[in-house]
Structure 1
Amino acid sequence: MQTSFSWRATKPLRDLGGLYHKYIKKCSRMDLLPIHELELMTRNNKVVWVSRGGDPQFLLTPINPAVLRQGGWFSLEYDFSATQAVDQCLYIDYGDGFQADIVWARHVEKSGHQSLVIYLPMGTQALRLDPMTRPGEFRLEDPVLKKIETPQIPHPWSGLDGYLKCCEGCEFTLAAAQQLERRLEGEFHWRSHGTDPAFVVRHRRGRVIEPGWCRIEFVLSGEYQQQVAKLYIDHGEGFSETHAYPIPFQSGKLATRVIQLERSIVNIRFDPWEREGSFRLERLCIDNVDAEEAWDAIAGRLVETAPEYTNLKKAEVLAGVGRSAPETDEGDGTAKKAELADAEDEAARETRLLEEYAETFIVNEAELSYQKWIDEVEVNGLPSSETIRGYLEGLESPAIISVLVPVYNTDETLLKACIDSVIAQSYPHWELCLVDDASPSPHVEKVLRHYASKDKRVKIHFRPDNGHISKTTNDALSMATGDYLALLDHDDELTKDALYFIAKELEKNPDAQLIYSDEDKIDVQGMRCEPHFKPDWNIDLLYSQNYVSHLGVYRRSLIEKIGGFRVGVEGSQDYDLVLRCIPHLTAGSISHVPRVLYHWRAIEGSTALAEEGKDYTTSAGVKALKDHIEGIADGRAIVEQGIVGNTYRVRWPIPEPAPLVSMLIPTRDKKDVTELAVRSILEKSRYTDYEIILLDNGSVEPETHEFFEKIQAEDSRVSVLRYDHPFNYSAINNFGAEHAKGSIIGLVNNDVEVINGDWLGEMVSHACREDVGCVGAKLYYGNDTIQHAGVIVGLGGVAGHSHKHFPRASGGYFNRLKVVQSVSAVTAACLLVRKSVYEEVGGLNEQDLKVAFNDVDFCLKVLDAGYRNIWTPYAELYHHESISRGAEDNPEKVARFNTEIDYMQKAWGKIIEHDPSYSPCLTRSREDFSIGGR
């Protein structure tokens, strides 16, 4: 058509019209070029377009072709009329032609003026408009393309805010270097199909980034909320980690970093993230900045993200480096100010600040793993709106949940977020009881009254004087009318479906008196982090730390029975509450919802931010636990602070007279190893009421027999029993138990070495508790890493050791390496159990488990008999593992091992599927408590 006589003859008129639109109407007129199934005809003296099929197409060509190439935000406008509603499609050619997956469809109900707001990247080649998807007649007139400012309102085309906005503000071309393909998937236009996607970046105008200070800015929106991009700079030696700059970012938000370039740049590479997935890059800017601007950015980030700089002003951070910066809010920061005032030359101080600035961009891999878990696991377990609607419609008498919130001088933004999180609940049968504890800030009352006027479910009360948190929460309790009470701190948030999942649990377990969930934290940047995936009810862990915490939901009658919150334990009032509930609870009345339903706000000074954030909470916790323990141990147990803040230790009493412990130590030769174990027990153990029975399984070396005779002569507590049968670990120990004189059996390997003198007394104190079965110790490899910290059933298919290979000083997952807790099993390398319990469950399994898993099986039998198994970090030994016994390295041993695995999986399949002392949200393939899936 463009070669026809009429087209060429009318070109001067069209050019003139184009000038008129360009300079008078400030827009570009578009030519309509029919390219498929379209004809121009006259009907009743009117010119109309006729679609001859189901795929009519116009090519939209601006009179001024440069308009498309310059890019930016535009409004595409035209007049359209048809006899009935039509569907229209817009295609955009970004250089690859019109692609079937790069299309936006709209439904036009009424005839009239049409306007679409779109963003066109620089270099856009062409536009194609399909006016309808069926045969018919229509009018389409006066199409124009207007350049506009960035719109502040959503565009009218569904899904358009995706690919079209992908390069706004971008002055660079991105060439997909590896593991990337250009693809439109919903709102995204790139997809990485590996874990190392990369772009090569080139400036559009050929401009060069000069040596000196440089700022990188980008906005990347993708399937995952929190990731880390990385910029690589090639100075001529190729790309390497030496000149790689990680930049954490949040999807859809501006990320920025300044760097100092000492040499010219040859190439730039941009890695959007290290995973598979779809995304769009909405902005990318790499440009030189002056030193003043760079140092201002450095100081700003340190003040915002580095805890030691939080209470300083920018100018104070930059003191001594010859820079100044705009001031931030006043703060204390006394220690850091003193450090900055120390004598230090300018260059050294600049270097230190740069290093500390760079450290703020280093992201904990666990946090990224959590974000991946949120994106890929949690989201798939959330209910749809249809599911919730169906559930709510089926409720005959829904439970009312009263949310209690004591309020005091809360930051206005955080208080609103807290209240909004309740109002947004997908489960609507709640009431929110807000009590202000005489806050001095006037905005608190204003906020509370505002929400109470908006929603009748919001109840408010204002205390005339400050009474602290226990009294304030009791006031909220007195307002509550619901059957259940949920506790929420005034600056924390509930997840949207929190109360829905609580209601579902109540439906499943109507006898529940206490329900608790998993929780995480919201950091100062507003990102979710540090998820606490909890075990099922674990009273010994509760005696060590308040792991129940949030979200805690209690039956109202239970809380009223115990008199509500107790005054005098402020700081640990929730811990005191759950401890006082315990005498009124049974195992069946406690439910754990293994989902994150609660977000702690990790702000400066809060317990959520740091264990030491509130020292008084530990003291209050000690008091609460002491009062509880006195009621169940006749005042003979001692309660004290644990190894780290907000943890506790109960020293349980040992009966008088002290029970005799019979330590059974199977051995075969390896005299040096066995002697080290025996002498470390004899020389270091402060608890002395024990006997050591060496179970000799066929030793032949003369020095071993000499040692046996010598050690028995030296100490009457040591004896040797011969067991002249093929090696069967279970049978050997059962044989020893038959000859044991003590009321407590100790299963001990011959390759252990005592570290602390209180180890045996600590284990005995637990073994004497009537409801406790097996007791295990904390064992280290010779290199001071963890060998054993309790057994998690289900790891690796059968069982594995908690926190294996963690450093000796590590606290582990939420300090579980530092606290006493119930576990499903412990290793027989060092295990104590009452002889009566040992005999009750039939000892170790001699028939099916001759070598492996016999200790796990034994512990599970004890657990099944109604006892709890305990692991304590206060009994420490080295375990020089596998010195005495060979590896599973021949066909016979491998076959035996596989048989033992089969036995365990058949006998204990249910607990292997879910260990109650472990979370289903944690990994089952490693022993490091890392995040897994469900």
Structure 2
Amino acid sequence: MSDVERDREAQFGVVDALMGQREASTHGRELPAHTPMPFYVRYPRGAMRRVVASPLGPLARIGIRRLERERWRLGHFLARRRPVHLSAAGIDVAEVPGDAVVGNAMLASTNASHLVLVRPGSEVTASGLAEVRRLLEREPGVELVYGDSRSARGVRFRAPAFSPVRLREEDYLGPAVVLNVEALRTRGGFRAAADGAHVLDIALRTPATAVTRVREVIGVGQPVDRPLEAAGDAAARVVSEHLEQIGVAGTVTTESGYRTVEYPVLGRPLVSIIMPTRGSSGAVAGSERTFVVEAVRGICERTTWGEVEIVLVADDATPQAVIDEVEALAGDRLVLVRWSEAFNFSAKMNRGAAVARGDYLLMLNDDVEVVTPDWIERMLGLAQQDGIGMVGAMLFFDDGSVQHLGHIYQGGGAGHVAFGVTPGALRPLASLTVTREVSGVTAACALLPADVVREVGGFSPLFPGNYNDVDLSLKVRSTGRSVVCTGAARLYHFESRTREATVLPSEFATLARRWDALIQRDEYSRELER
């Protein structure tokens, strides 16, 4: 390493320590010595829920959820039979208009201050409207309100935090939304070009700062609007027009009601792939392989993005034969960095980042295999969007089930979105490919602008084996940038084949000391019931 690279590596630690002190004073708390470590339980159908060791076990918790659902069914039954005096509250309720003429006539005739648009076949709840009234009394300037929803069978779906990037591909606002009448009139009302997709169109035209989510069930019906045929084309057209209006290049396609937005890469930026390794081998599908060799082979032979350098941070224990094979595959795109110290994933990655020359740094485990050849382009196009600081990919276990589609931070621990889901069994693959804003992403595959990595101090060496990606994700979000995960970039991740994951008590304590307030309740996932 040169002196400049050593200084850069040292600077990571300085910046991380300063950020850690700042976040601890804002979001953290000290844990008592007896605090139980979190652990994870595999539920039927592969769903992963976090359970903290306590006298109340997982079966009891499931029973309580069922009782809560039955109580809701009775309450909803009664609420539907009580009159709701909406006019006195300045709120009108109407079905989403089929065309702009009907919508604008409704907008012109109402004397209400707010309008609840209900999708066909859905209902609003009395408790939801009551919560909306309280919100509007506190924040009268809000232009659009949405909230949680329930299916007809009583299953509750949590509404994710407002995210325009996700909204472009998935209308997650629920079966009912509340609109500020005067603001909608000022913005031109219902547009004829948006017939068939009016709620989506209004939401995309509304500034994110004027949108508010409530933690109450507002509507009963489908939590996600997935229009087919003509309405699906209308939604795609609305998104395309929106991108053009805000000056963002993107191609919108629709298949079976699922929208996808592909953001083209601007220019030909160099991507530095930082990969730690010790040259481990293992069996996959009955065949022995050297993980790092096959990972590099996938980059060199099956990846369509050519502007890459591979920064390989190799333990001294890495067999020379493995290094030779990687050099033969990568040629002059390989930058070899030796690691002679005790295992510390974070420190290894920071050393690789210190020598990297790329405009973007792609953190990548050595036990991955490329599935989609354009995976780097799909991640890079997103990383170039304003306000996005970190991009993750969809990772699969070797049996084809999902390992990762973003992080979930709940109850002081971390899990994965869609963990254990087998595409095609319960949910089609297309439903999982939505680009979504998430709490964080795994460092097994994460792309960041190089200047963002330096700004936040890279990985914290206080997390040598676990939670380092959680900490990095939260540091990125603390700068005001978002973290997103795209299902359009897909790789296999043969997790736990290269090392046994053991969480140190110090790692858990440091995570709480820095970020406790931000890891108690996930803001983006629909996976967890309240």
Q: TM class, shorter-chain normalised?
A: 0.7 to 0.9
User: Aligned equivalents of 2:90 and 2:485: distance in 1?
Assistant: 40
Contact 1:572–1:617 (Cα < 8 Å) also in 2:
yes
Q: Which AA in structure 2 matches 1:916?
A: E
The match for 1:866 among 475, 480, 484 is 480
Q: Report the CA distance shift for 1:793/1:615 in structure 2 as closer, same or farther (over 3 A).
A: same
Q: Report the CA distance shift for 1:738/1:493 in structure 2 as closer, same or farther (over 3 A).
A: same
Contact 2:311–2:336 (Cα < 8 Å) also in 1:
yes
Task: Name the structure where helix makes up a greater proportion of residues.
Answer: 2
Q: Report the CA distance shift for 1:773/1:431 in structure 2 as closer, same or farther (over 3 A).
A: closer
Q: Which residue of 2 aligns with 1:678?
A: 296
Contact 1:817–1:873 (Cα < 8 Å) also in 2:
yes
Q: Which residue of 1 aligns with 2:416?
A: 801
1:373 and 2:68 aligned:
yes
Q: Which AA in structure 2 matches 1:595?
A: E
Shift of 1:878: 0.3
The match for 1:825 among 433, 440, 456 is 440
Contact 1:518–1:550 (Cα < 8 Å) also in 2:
no
User: Aligned equivalents of 2:501 and 2:439: distance in 1?
Assistant: 26
Q: Report the CA distance shift for 1:680/1:572 in structure 2 as closer, same or farther (over 3 A).
A: same
Q: Aligned ranges for residues 315-714 of structure 1 at < 5 Å?
A: 372-376=67-71, 423-425=83-85, 428-430=88-90, 432=92, 468-489=98-119, 491-522=121-152, 528-529=153-154, 531-581=156-206, 585-587=207-209, 589-600=210-221, 611=226, 614-633=228-247, 636-641=249-254, 644-645=256-257, 647-656=258-267, 658-670=268-280, 672-712=290-330
User: How many residue pairs align between the two structures?
Assistant: 462
Q: Aligned ranges for residues 110-509 of structure 1 at < 5 Å?
A: 372-376=67-71, 423-425=83-85, 428-430=88-90, 432=92, 468-489=98-119, 491-509=121-139
User: Aligned equivalents of 1:791 and 1:637: distance in 2?
Assistant: 26
Shift of 1:509: 3.1
Q: Which AA in structure 1 matches 2:367?
A: D
User: Aligned equivalents of 1:824 and 1:435: distance in 2?
Assistant: 34
| Structure of higher CA gyration radius | 1
Q: Report the CA distance shift for 1:885/1:557 in structure 2 as closer, same or farther (over 3 A).
A: same
Q: Report the CA distance shift for 1:568/1:788 in structure 2 as closer, same or farther (over 3 A).
A: same
User: Aligned equivalents of 2:144 and 2:373: distance in 1?
Assistant: 40
Render the CA deviation track for 1:784-842: whole Å, top value 9, x for unaligned.
011111000126x3101111111033575997622111001000101000001111111
Q: Which residue of 2 aligns with 1:751?
A: 367
Q: Report the CA distance shift for 1:772/1:432 in structure 2 as closer, same or farther (over 3 A).
A: closer
Q: Report the CA distance shift for 1:481/1:754 in structure 2 as closer, same or farther (over 3 A).
A: same
User: Aligned equivalents of 1:502 and 1:720: distance in 2?
Assistant: 58
Contact 1:774–1:868 (Cα < 8 Å) also in 2:
yes
Shift of 1:690: 0.7
Q: Which residue of 1 aligns with 2:39?
A: none
Shift of 1:434: 6.5
Q: Report the CA distance shift for 1:793/1:623 in structure 2 as closer, same or farther (over 3 A).
A: same
Structure having greater relative contact order (Cα 8 Å, sep ≥ 6): 2
Render the CA deviation track for 1:657-714: whole Å, top value 9, x for unaligned.
x1100000000122611101110111111111111111012224342243244345xx
Shift of 1:761: 0.7
Q: Report the CA distance shift for 1:909/1:812 in structure 2 as closer, same or farther (over 3 A).
A: farther
Contact 2:272–2:308 (Cα < 8 Å) also in 1:
yes
User: Aligned equivalents of 2:222 and 2:319: distance in 1?
Assistant: 64
Render the CA deviation track for 1:262-298: whole Å, top value 9, x for unaligned.
xxxxxxxxxxxxx99xxxxxxxxxxxxxxxxxxxxxx
Contact 2:164–2:208 (Cα < 8 Å) also in 1:
no
User: Aligned equivalents of 2:344 and 2:96: distance in 1?
Assistant: 67
Secondary structure of 2:161's counterpart equals coil
Q: Which residue of 2 aligns with 1:735?
A: 351
Shift of 1:734: 0.7
User: Aligned equivalents of 2:122 and 2:383: distance in 1?
Assistant: 40
Contact 2:166–2:437 (Cα < 8 Å) also in 1:
yes
Contact 1:427–1:500 (Cα < 8 Å) also in 2:
no
Q: Report the CA distance shift for 1:653/1:811 in structure 2 as closer, same or farther (over 3 A).
A: farther
Shift of 1:566: 0.9
Contact 1:776–1:826 (Cα < 8 Å) also in 2:
yes
Secondary structure of 1:716's counterpart equals helix
User: Aligned equivalents of 2:213 and 2:93: distance in 1?
Assistant: 24
The match for 1:776 among 386, 392, 405 is 392
Shift of 1:644: 4.2
1:884 and 2:498 aligned:
yes
User: Aligned equivalents of 1:869 and 1:673: distance in 2?
Assistant: 28
Q: Report the CA distance shift for 1:600/1:639 in structure 2 as closer, same or farther (over 3 A).
A: same
1:845 and 2:460 aligned:
yes
Q: Report the CA distance shift for 1:377/1:716 in structure 2 as closer, same or farther (over 3 A).
A: farther
Q: Which residue of 1 aligns with 2:507?
A: 900
User: Aligned equivalents of 1:811 and 1:832: distance in 2?
Assistant: 29
Q: Report the CA distance shift for 1:811/1:621 in structure 2 as closer, same or farther (over 3 A).
A: farther
Contact 1:517–1:550 (Cα < 8 Å) also in 2:
no
User: Aligned equivalents of 1:552 and 1:508: distance in 2?
Assistant: 18
Render the CA deviation track for 1:638-664: whole Å, top value 9, x for unaligned.
1221x541x3211112112x1100000
Q: Which residue of 1 aligns with 2:379?
A: 763
Shift of 1:424: 2.5
Contact 2:92–2:115 (Cα < 8 Å) also in 1:
no
User: Aligned equivalents of 1:813 and 1:866: distance in 2?
Assistant: 33
User: Aligned equivalents of 2:327 and 2:251: distance in 1?
Assistant: 42
Contact 1:520–1:532 (Cα < 8 Å) also in 2:
yes
User: Aligned equivalents of 2:90 and 2:404: distance in 1?
Assistant: 45
Shift of 1:433: 6.9
User: Aligned equivalents of 2:274 and 2:422: distance in 1?
Assistant: 29
Q: Which AA in structure 2 matches 1:806?
A: V
Q: Which AA in structure 2 matches 1:879?
A: H
Q: Which residue of 2 aligns with 1:260?
A: none
User: Aligned equivalents of 2:216 and 2:428: distance in 1?
Assistant: 17
User: Aligned equivalents of 1:814 and 1:521: distance in 2?
Assistant: 22
Task: Name the structure where strand makes up a greater proportion of residues.
Answer: 1
Q: Which AA in structure 2 matches 1:677?
A: A
Secondary structure of 2:392's counterpart equals strand
User: Aligned equivalents of 2:292 and 2:342: distance in 1?
Assistant: 20
What fraction of aligned residue pairs are identical, expressed as a percent? 26
Q: Report the CA distance shift for 1:490/1:793 in structure 2 as closer, same or farther (over 3 A).
A: closer
Contact 2:159–2:174 (Cα < 8 Å) also in 1:
no
Q: Which AA in structure 2 matches 1:638?
A: T
Render the CA deviation track for 1:527-578: whole Å, top value 9, x for unaligned.
x345432111122221111111432112222201111111132221111111
- TM-score, length-scaled by structure 2: 0.80
Bigger mean CA offset, 557-566 vs 861-870: 557-566
User: Aligned equivalents of 2:175 and 2:71: distance in 1?
Assistant: 24
Q: Which AA in structure 2 matches 1:593?
A: V
Render the CA deviation track for 1:384-437: whole Å, top value 9, x for unaligned.
99xxxxxxxxxxxxxxxxxxxxxxxxxxxxxxx8xx77x425894245476999
Q: Report the CA distance shift for 1:823/1:489 in structure 2 as closer, same or farther (over 3 A).
A: closer
